Structure 1
Amino acid sequence: MRILLRSIPTTTVTLFVVSVICMNLLANKTLLQLDWIALDGGILISWLSFMCMDIITRHFGPKASNSISLLAVAINLLTCLIFFVASIIPSNANDYSAFNSIFGGTWFILFGSTVAFLVSAVIHNTLNWFIGLAFKKNPHGKLAFAMRTYISSFVGQFSDNFIFSVIVFVFFAPIFWDGFHWTVLQSAMCALTGAVAELLMQVVFSPISYRITKKWRAENVGKEYFDYIEKEKA
């Protein structure tokens, strides 16, 4: 892990970890709820998480991307613990009920977001890699890039949204939130609509990720990690 962290540019890892933490916080707010669709605030930033995973998977492989995903989850859990401790410390200086409700969070939201993210990360990274293997003649071309990015991101984001929605809003919300809940249909439509919205963001920002991966190859980024992997295989 230390060699991998030294090899991946810090900006990419930082953006990835921050986006995962923000997803967890933003998921506390429902942006839109109708009979057939519901959206939570996590969709505003989740596209960035998947874009970072896409870049890491493309250059370093799915195993490396999964490792960084686990690191992001660990940091997110630590951050949530710090927020929780801060929220339960009594204070008579002011009314901090809003702060406590947001940053104190609820255990089932954290549980749902963690499970959903880990499962979707593995799905995304694995699918991205195997799609890339189908383009043997020109694995770094724009067509290969588009197929890997768009298909894996859509499937991964749908999985993340759906698993989280079902765990939090179908199973736990009716118990802990005074009957408030989403239906399975709302969860599916939330997952689908969110995946489409996030895919559009990927399309907008994919030229940036394409240039990043191209630059990494040109600058031989990660040489130490790749040399280490080769030694392990020998």
Structure 2
Amino acid sequence: MIHAILKDKPTKLFVFFSAFFVANALIAESIGTKLFSLEKLLGLPPANFTMFGHSGLTFTLTCGVLLWPLEFVMTDIINEYYGPKAVRRISLTAVALISYAFLMYFLAIGMPPADFWITGSVKDGVPNMQDAFNSVFGQGMRIIIGSLVAFFVSQLVDVYVFHKIKQRTGEKYVWLRATGSTIVSQLVDSYIVLFIAFLGKYPWQQLLAIGVMNYIYKFLMALILTPVIYFVEARIEKYVGHDAAKSMKLAAMGKEGS
């Protein structure tokens, strides 16, 4: 049985995509506590936009956004070759495993630290390792819930928009269904996480403004990463063969044997 699975190229691809998808999502969630300045990264002056009554807005983003665009690229590729049921199953698996990871983080935070470990990195500029550990891994519960809900809902939206576009365009315009579905789902993702995590803590106008700044970045990344879809599809077709790739796409659309 296992030898048959290992010899089946579409199955091996699915296992790889699933593993990468879950790992990428977990890493994105874990590094999301750090904020960085996109302008500083690119050597540009601060944007200083004014929106919804809030001025001085810049592209201050979480490190998680470095990986989330790849997640939506993976969603489109899996959707293209394995269909919406596969995407929903992988998304649920990712949510379950991310929830498990955060539970383990909180359990680790609650473990009584060894005395020598707490002060063991003072010479490296870390006066209290327990506080540092708590700060890195102890994200607020509302942020965690908001992020998980945003991730799962945006995945469902991505799948829906992707297939609606594909039903109308067929095999043509890969860029349209890939970019279009990502642009819509990223908008949903941006605002769900902000409003669940921070509504009541910050004015809703400020959250709208921050969401716009985040979405501008995600919109541009969706456009920039569009060629990646074509590259990966070409590699898949070369790996499994033209006929197998075509059969996978038809099955993903529920047209197997047609």
TM-score range, shorter chain: 0.7 to 0.9
2:26 maps to 1:21: yes
TM alignment of 1:1-234, pairs within 5 A? 6=11, 8-31=13-36, 35=54, 37=57, 39-41=60-62, 42-91=64-113, 92=115, 93-94=117-118, 95-136=129-170, 139=171, 141=172, 144-171=173-200, 174=201, 181=202, 183-217=203-237, 219=240, 220=244, 226=251
Task: Tell me: CA distance 1:57–1:162, structure 2 relative to 1, closer, same or farther (3 Å).
Answer: same
Deviation at 1:31, TM superposition (A): 4.2
Q: How many residues align?
A: 213
> Who wins on radius of gyration, i.e. which is larger?
2
Aligned-partner Cα distance in 2 for 1:149–1:125: 10
Task: Tell me: CA distance 1:132–1:7, structure 2 relative to 1, closer, same or farther (3 Å).
Answer: farther
RMSD over aligned CA atoms reads 3.0
Q: Which runs of 5+ in 2 are unaligned?
A: 38-47, 119-128
Q: Is the 8 A contact 1:154 1:196 kept in 2?
A: no
Please, what TM-score do these two structures have when normalized by structure 2? 0.71
- Say which is worse superposed, 106-115 or 20-29, in terms of deviation: 20-29
- Say which is worse superposed, 10-19 or 92-101, in terms of deviation: 10-19
Paired-residue identity, %? 25
Could you report, residue by residue, the CA deviation over 1:11-51 in whole angstroms, capped at 9, with x for unpaired residues?
A: 43233212211332343344469835474403222111111
Q: Which runs of 5+ in 1 are unaligned?
A: 175-180
Aligned-partner Cα distance in 2 for 1:153–1:8: 22
Please, what TM-score do these two structures have when normalized by structure 1? 0.78
Deviation at 1:8, TM superposition (A): 3.8
Deviation at 1:106, TM superposition (A): 2.0
Aligned-partner Cα distance in 2 for 1:21–1:77: 9
Aligned-partner Cα distance in 1 for 2:185–2:98: 19
Aligned-partner Cα distance in 1 for 2:20–2:208: 28
